[in-house]
Structure 1
Amino acid sequence: MADNGAANGTVTRSTLRQQIADALRDEILAGRLRPGDVFTVKQIAEQYGVSATPVREALVDLSAQGLLDSDHHRGFAVHRFTIDDYRGMVEARMMIVDGIFRRHLSALADAHQPQTPAPPGEPDVRFGAVLASVRRRAEAAARAARAGDLDILIGYDIRFWRELSRLVAANDYVADFLHRLRVHAWVFAVPYLRSDHELLDWLWGGHTDLVDAITQGDAAAAIAVVEEYNAHALQWADRLERLQARGH
């Protein structure tokens, strides 16, 4: 019985650790925890009404993901990304995503061909079936972008790109790396976007265009959509830099 209790305690602590990490990541992505904000393990533990151990573990996890900076004397602070950091994120994902689509030209064409349905009672894990789920994310993200609903857009955009990366790259390591870049990019962008009077002009909503290109097996069109998306992101970074130079 003692062993079972220890095991259950481990599972509970691990689950709590993940829940706290997820909650804090959402706060950072939403811009409610802003770059440079400082807090301690004790403050977060009191906020969530939990013990210090899972909180400390969650904060260490977020530090390892590059979202927090740790200071033994001050506690933890939300990492402050620069415009140059953001440009580096965009350029890194440009190179990786472009390589994925160029490498999988034939795979995209093959995926466009009719497929045999899965046998009754077996899960349908075909390319087309998974792509249908990605399309639903794409449509929700595109609607949020048109409406200027940043909170909804962030959630669907992150899930859209993660599912799409796993589907097209067929490599979880690549997908996880791209996911981390995208989270970092949003963490940088959100505080600026929330105060941008031209928000609607800078929220990209071409998710469904990308899914359409992949559905049609047109890798060249898919690459063009991604290139337009990344160019849009870099144009926004240039504009932000000009605004900061003018003291806005």
Structure 2
Amino acid sequence: MPASGPVTRSTLRQQIADALRDEVLAGRLQPGQEFTVKQIAEQYGVSATPVREALVDLSAQGLLDSDQHKGFRVHQFTVDDYRGMVEARSLIVDGVFRRLEERATPGDPGGARLTCVHGAALVSVRRRAEAAARAARAGDLDILIGYDLRFWRELGGFVANHYIADFLHRLRVQAWVFAVPYLRGDRRLRDWLWSGHEELVDAVTLGEPAKVLAVLDAYNAHALRWACHLERLQQD
């Protein structure tokens, strides 16, 4: 089992959960790989209790499967699972922005749209967008994943309540967990990494949900094309 670097989150339980999630996202823990509470506790030099709690948390997030007799293993998502994730986030985000669009009044272009996105918060999410887009264009998967997740988390906080934002974040983590093992071995990696983060921020800045939806439609279509490409490879 690979060892992670130092972690600095608030609780030991959360530290371990975050470190293991990062191992999965980095592809160092592969889908189907098995391990026990004892192995993880020895790896991090901690007691079994916070490890067990962290593994249960990751299981609840859909990243691990638990077996009463064998311990835990990294969940193995399928292409159909991935398509389901894309469809779910598409339906939810589409509904959020269409609701904002419906609330806008004809005489007030800003209206009930995205006027909450401004100032320091917008500067922060734009920086995330720029970093994520650069990493995608460069094919730097390790850098991209972190910035991409933070970008969507911050952006989601502008337009949706925290229940929706948390659910969408969970879907995006699961999607990356599925995608990482395939993307790392793909010579066309850069072709499949979406880099429209800055375009999306521009649309949000304008405060026009219709333009945001157009970017998101392209984003989801891009993801589904990759799923079809992957399925064809698996059938060959």
Look up the match of 2:73: 77
Query: In the alignment, does 2:209 pair up with 1:208?
Result: no
Q: Which runs of 5+ in 2 are unaligned?
A: 1-9
Which protein is bigger by CA-based radius of gyration? 1
**Counterpart of 1:33 in 2: which secondary structure?**
coil
Q: Which amino acid aligns with 1:63?
A: S
| 1:33 paired residue number | 29
For this pair of structures, how many residues does the alignment match? Answer: 221
CA drift of 1:166 comes to 1.1
Shift of 1:109: 2.6
Query: Which whole-Å CA distance do the structure 1 matches of 2:97 and 2:40 have between them?
Result: 42
How many percent of aligned residue pairs carry the same amino acid?
Answer: 74
Kindly indicate whether residue 132 of structure 2 is the aligned counterpart of residue 101 of structure 1: no
Q: Write the mapping of 1:50-199 to structure 2, written as runs, cut at 5 A.
A: 50-105=46-101, 106=104, 109-110=110-111, 127-129=117-119, 130-169=121-160, 171-199=161-189
Give yes or no for contact 1:112–1:215 (8 Å, CA) kept in 2: no
Report the equivalent of 2:7.
none
Residue pair 1:111, 1:127 contacting (<8 A) in 2 also: no
1:110 CA displacement: 3.7
How much has 1:127 moved relative to structure 2?
2.5
Q: Which runs of 5+ in 1 are unaligned?
A: 1-13, 116-125
Give the letter for the 2:214 counterpart.
A
Q: Where does residue 219 of structure 2 map in the other structure?
A: 229
- Tell me the SS of whatever aligns to 1:81: coil
Contact kept, 8 Å, 2:113 with 2:209, in 1: the verdict is no
Distance in structure 2 (CA, Å) of the matches to 1:61 and 1:162:
19
Q: TM-score, normalised by structure 2?
A: 0.90
CA distance in 1, matches of 2:210, 2:110: 11
Tell me whether 1:239 sits opposite 2:229 in the alignment: yes
